[in-house]
Amino acid sequence: MKTKPIANTENLKNELLPSCEQLAMIAASTRCKNPADAVRNGLDIWREAVKVLRNERIAMTQRPFAGIPLPPKFPATLRDFCRMVINAKTQADSMKRLRDYLREQNRIYLLADKWERQEAATQGRAGTKKIAPPTLGPDDEELVESRAVEKIASMKNTGLTQMDWRRLALDYHRWWCEKKSNQARISAKKRRQPA
């Protein structure tokens, strides 16, 4: 009985191959009588497994963005983002939501920065008391607002790349879901309280 070669050497250069021991174990599990057929089938099983794993890895990286609508072309406009992702009743409502989201993100970054600076200033001092968490003052709120306005202006002027769109859409969506959940929780509490 004549057997075909397993593969030509050109195809092997860029292909991930099993070790001899791995291929022998796979071939033994195929239950083929002819050893050459068993090895060929084992190699086919290996290749299929590699293909499935590659596809699964690609799918895993795309899953977080699965429900995010994409515009027909990039760079996309801020108007497209508001219409497709924020999806409020009016353009003005969309811009308000986006501004609220950006303000909250800027507050978080500013508080984290203050906290790090506070920690660094007291590090290494013996006997220091526990530090109260930092708060934002009126000047900080102005900074938060101005950064949000600058970011919106930048998005209007330059548009959004595909990566910017996806990242912003994913973060915005998480923020909006959390905000709606908190609002629902507060409303439920109010309904349960006796009048």
Domain chopping of the chain, boundaries: 9-64, 78-192
Whether the per-residue pLDDT at 41 is higher than 50: the answer is: yes
Q: How far apart are CA 161 and CA 149, in angstroms?
A: 19
Per cent of the chain over pLDDT 70 is 82
Q: Which helix (H) or strand (E) segment is 193 a member of? A: none
- The 10s digit of each residue's pLDDT in 84-129 is 999 899 999 999 999 999 999 988 888 888 888 877 777 766 555 6
Whether the per-residue pLDDT at 154 is higher than 80: the answer is: yes
Q: What is the DSSP string of 57-77?
A: HHHHHHGGGTT----SSSSBP
Q: How far apart are CA 164 and CA 75, in angstroms?
A: 9
Whether the per-residue pLDDT at 182 is higher than 80: the answer is: yes
Looking at per-residue pLDDT, the higher value among 89 and 131 belongs to: 89
Residues 100 and 108: beta-carbon distance below 8 Å: no
Per cent of the chain over pLDDT 90 is 25
Mean pLDDT of all residues in 15-19 = 75
